[in-house]
Copies of this chain bind each other. A is one copy, B any other.
Amino acid sequence: MGMGRPRAFDADAALDRAMDVFWRHGYEGTTIAQLTEAMSINPPSLYAAFGSKEGLLKAALDRYSEKRDAWMEKVVGASTAREVAEGFLMEHADAQTDPANPPGCLLVQGGLACGTGSENVPFELAARRTRTEDQLRERFVRAKAERDLGENADPVTLARYLSAVTSGMCVMASSGADRNTLREIAAVSLKAFDEQAKA
């Protein structure tokens, strides 16, 4: 028995296109017509490959998470908690204003509140944001064990704080804040980290 006609498009490249559309317009603001045009495929190809609009979003999020994980690995690879925090904040400021992508972060712009039938989407995005926070927290747990953080510094609080700041930066980036503005915010945030870290 044969193996069927091969797919004529590159799924990863198509996912990158879809990611951009979801990022720019949010899940609910994105239409299948926009997606198929951006991906240069027809609806049946989209549905055969990804199942549904939500399935496509999840596939795009998986791809997004891959890149993000690689990026986070670099960030938490820094030798001190201080450098981890600084790298996390500054790289976020740059990434959210990277002209190669829509402003902000897909995990926030994708949709914080959705309509009936898409309640799952905000959950999905939140779960992926939490993952980043978890990676930070684990790194800070290690830092504390290494006496790289003060006796009273709480890895949970530190990770949450940095996560909150970067989410806030997303919101500002989405409304046009430029790179320097975000870096300024990052720099101020870093002072709170320092204070908290030496506690």
Contacts and interface: CB of A to CB of B under 8 A. Distances in A.
A151 B168 CA distance: 27
Interface stretch (A4-12, A18-26, A75-83, A139-147): A18-26
B160 A181 contact: yes
Given A188-B157, A189-B192, A196-B188, A126 B167 contact: no
A130 to B, nearest CB: 8
Task: Name the prevailing secondary structure of the A interface residues.
Answer: helix
Contacts of A101: none
A171 B164 contact: yes
Taken together, the copies of this chain in the complex come to 2
Given A31-B115, A113-B25, A115-B29, A185 B164 contact: yes
Interface stretch (A44-52, A56-64, A66-74, A172-180): A172-180
Nearest to A129: B175
| Residue from A28, A113, A115, A122 whose CB has the most chain B CB atoms within 10 Å | A113
A112 B109 contact: yes
Contact of A112 (B112, B115, B118, B194): B112
A30 B31 CA distance: 16
A110 B174 CA distance: 13
Interface of A: 23-26, 28-31, 34, 102, 104, 108-116, 118, 122-123, 125-126, 129-130, 157-158, 160-161, 163-172, 174-176, 181, 184-185, 188-196
Ranked 8 nearest A-B pairs via Cβ: A29-B115, A168-B168, A192-B192, A126-B175, A164-B168, A167-B171, A26-B113, A167-B168
